[in-house]
């Protein structure tokens, strides 16, 4: 009987060890995102893409497929594709990032607004205005609900609603992972 308890204990410890991200894996993910952000800021999108792809894989392996950090990595990769005009490749990544954030963080979270805005900006760049507009409006509504009035000019029709997304970010949300 003691061998059976020992095996069960070992199994439980193994599962727990695999479920908790390893500091080295988290550090690798952080490092990849820092490199991607630096290359993005330098306009070296083609050089950043392989690192952003690796960031997605590391995030999936470290945090799980439905974690907000995966959504962040997907969003960063999609933004690089968008900057290169690779819209067909960017769209499913933006959509997956949005779906993960909605599920993990809730429908009214500011990160969801960021994903909505990113997808809307992709559609706007393609001239898909009818698809972009409701996404911009939903993003604006989320931001107004969560952070208060957003400074946009509804009278200036040349300005998108809300302002364009910030450059790539490496901030992660640990609270949703546990």
Q: What is the DSSP string of 94-156?
A: HHHHHHHHHHHH-TT-HHHHHHHHHHHHHHHHTT-HHHHHHHHHHHHHHHHHHH------SS-
Give the pLDDT of residue 168. Answer: 55
Packed helices 45-63 and 23-41: angle between N→C axes, nearest 10 degrees:
160
> Mean pLDDT in the chain?
82
Using the 8-state DSSP alphabet, how is residue 159 labeled?
S
Give the pLDDT of residue 149. Answer: 77
- How many angstroms separate the first and last alpha carbons of the chain? 33
User: For 79-133, how does the pLDDT look when each residue is reduced to its tens digit (9 = 90+)?
Assistant: 999 999 999 999 999 999 999 999 999 999 999 999 999 999 999 999 999 999 9
Burial 142-164 (b: 16+ CB within 10 A, else e): bbeeeeeeeebeeeeeeebbbee
Alpha helix (H) residue ranges in 20-109 = 23-41, 45-63, 68-83, 87-105
Report residue 65's pLDDT band, with 50, 70 and 90 as the boundaries: very high
The model carries a pTM of 0.73
User: For 160-172, how does the pLDDT look when each residue is reduced to its tens digit (9 = 90+)?
Assistant: 444 444 445 554 5
Report residue 33's pLDDT band, with 50, 70 and 90 as the boundaries: very high
| Domains located in the chain, CATH noted | 23-147 (1.25.40.10)
Packed helices 87-105 and 68-83: angle between N→C axes, nearest 10 degrees:
160
Indicate the length of the chain as a whole number.
178
């Amino acid at each position: 009987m003691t061998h059976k308890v020992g095996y069960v204990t070992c199994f439980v410890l193994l599962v727990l060890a695999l479920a908790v991200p390893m500091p080295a894996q988290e550090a690798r993910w952080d490092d990849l995102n820092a490199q991607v952000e630096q290359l993005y800021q330098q306009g070296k999108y083609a050089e950043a893409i392989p690192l952003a792809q690796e960031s997605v894989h590391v995030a999936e392996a470290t945090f799980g497929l439905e974690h907000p950090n995966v959504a962040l990595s997907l969003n960063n990769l999609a933004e690089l594709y968008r900057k290169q005009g690779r819209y067909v490749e960017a769209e499913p990544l933006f959509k997956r990032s949005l779906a993960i954030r909605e599920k993990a963080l809730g429908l009214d979270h500011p990160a969801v607004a960021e994903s909505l805005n990113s997808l809307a900006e992709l559609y706007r760049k393609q001239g898909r205005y009818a698809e972009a507009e409701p996404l911009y409006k939903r993003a604006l509504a989320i931001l107004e609900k969560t952070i208060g009035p957003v400074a946009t000019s509804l009278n200036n029709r040349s300005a998108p609603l809300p302002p364009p997304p910030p450059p790539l970010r490496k901030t992660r949300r640990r609270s949703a992972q546990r």
